[in-house]
Amino acid sequence: MSTVLTAPLPAAARVGPRLSRVVKGSVGVLALLAAWQLSVPLVGLGPYFYPAPSDVVVAFADLVRKGILPVYFADSMARYFAGLAAGALLGVGLGTLIGLSPVVSRALTPLLRFLFAIVEVAWIPIFVIWFGYGVKTIVLALVYVVFFPVLYNTLLGVRTAPQILVNALRSLGASPLQVLRHAILPAALPSIITGLRVGAGFAFRGLVFAEIVAAKTGIGYLIFEGTQTQQTARTIVGMIIMGLTWLALDVCYLRPLERATVQRWGLTVDAERRT
């Protein structure tokens, strides 16, 4: 009897709750859309000040028809993933180094703490002076945004790796590289993935700001350009695209990756449920 109760549900049985969750989640969105549409005649302002959802749908269709949205979206995503990848690599590399070497830690920690306090917004004008408007400045700003959460989470993961495993491997004659590969990095991986997820979220916000300041294409630029050209509906399209893209990235990539990491090198059930 207990076997039956603890057995995992078949895929078909899991569809029901999932569908119900989607339906419940959609209710809030639909209610917001209905309230928004109904409030437009009550507010009585023009589409420049207060566009209706229908205006936003028209603007979306127009942007797609004119080929603007696909190109802006592709540009934004290319910059985002370049910045995310570079920032994550740098963060994991340096975080591991600082976590393993007290000398490097002592040398770099004050500098990193100092830089951590300076938000990327402050760097962007400097990057524009150094690298001009465009891809380099935006990617660099994103690297900066992603770097710190990944670094600190990697550091945390490396420092909290079970010492008993490290000692056991060392006593069996493992080289430092083998200890890193078989004990420290697997133990740090859940923290690294969490840092990556946090960094990916920060980078998304950073992307919009960087594109507003330093680009002539991209979703961030679309948001800015929409208000400049009195096409507020386009601005809202840009905002919705950003939100939906983040949701898709989180649901399709980041959350499964985090869950898989926690399960594989798994720490606690709570960590998994947290997502």
By CB under 8 A, is residue 259 in contact with another protein?
yes
Tokens at 240, concatenated: 């919705």
Instruction: Residue 97: count other Cβ atoms within 10 Å of its Cβ.
Output: 17
Least distance from another protein to the Cβ atom of residue 32, Å: 26
Judged by CB under 8 A, which of 14, 21, 106, 216 binds another protein? Answer: 216
Residues 42-71 that bind another protein (CB under 8 A): 65-68, 71
Q: For residue 172, which phi and psi values (nearest 5 degrees)?
A: -90, 5
Beta carbons of 109 and 162 less than 8 angstroms apart: no
Residue (67 or 110) nearer to another protein, CB: 67
Instruction: Residue 113: count other Cβ atoms within 10 Å of its Cβ.
Output: 9
Residue (123 or 221) nearer to another protein, CB: 221
Judged by CB under 8 A, which of 48, 130, 133, 253 binds another protein? Answer: 253
By CB under 8 A, is residue 160 in contact with another protein?
no
Beta carbons of 61 and 114 less than 8 angstroms apart: no
Q: Using the rule CB under 8 A, give the single segment among 20-28, 157-165, 185-193, 248-256 that binds another protein.
A: 248-256
By CB under 8 A, is residue 263 in contact with another protein?
yes
Least distance from another protein to the Cβ atom of residue 94, Å: 26
Contacts of 241 (CB under 8 A, 6+ apart): 69, 73, 219
Integer Cα distance of 21 and 5 in angstroms: 23
Q: Using the rule CB under 8 A, give the single segment among 51-59, 160-168, 182-190, 249-257 that binds another protein.
A: 249-257
By CB under 8 A, is residue 260 in contact with another protein?
yes
Contacts of 99 (CB under 8 A, 6+ apart): 105, 154, 155, 157, 158, 159, 184, 188
Contact residues: another protein, CB under 8 A: 65-68, 71, 216-217, 248, 251-253, 256-257, 259-260, 263
